[in-house]
Amino acid sequence: MISPERKAKCNAYDRHRRAVLKDTKTSVDVSVKKFHDMVKQGPIYICSCCDQLWYKHSVVNACKLRESQLDSAKYLCNKISVDDKEWICRTCNNHLMKNNTPTMCYS
């Protein structure tokens, strides 16, 4: 036979465990929804440097790069895509900001 104190501890542990599992399921559901919202539009942004398709959260406007790094213009191909703007992926952008040639550069 289990003592009342032991039974109370087990019940408290079970309540806590169920609450944690419920919170975990909720946070996973929220994360899945965020992911689906981010990729809903699809990879339609063309990088002007590497000429690859990217999602919205993976690109930045190329005019910002052109203003800050004047030498980087020789690596950009003037590809206009979504919203009639030139986009560059974050990978190429990081290389160009460090004055390096992007590894996947098209030109």
> Which residues form the domain of 10?
1-40
pTM of the predicted model as reported, rounded to 2 decimal places:
0.63
Domain assignment present for residue 70? The answer is yes
Number of domains within the chain: 2
Q: Are 59 and 42 in contact (CB under 8 A)?
A: no
Domain assignment present for residue 105? The answer is no
Same domain, 74 and 30: no
The reported pLDDT for the residue numbered 60 is 92
Per-residue pLDDT tens for 28-79?
788 888 888 877 878 889 999 999 999 888 999 988 888 887 788 888 888 8
Same domain, 52 and 20: no
Same domain, 93 and 49: yes
Range of weakest confidence among 5-19, 42-56, 91-105: 5-19
CA distance 48 to 32: 30
Same domain, 91 and 58: yes
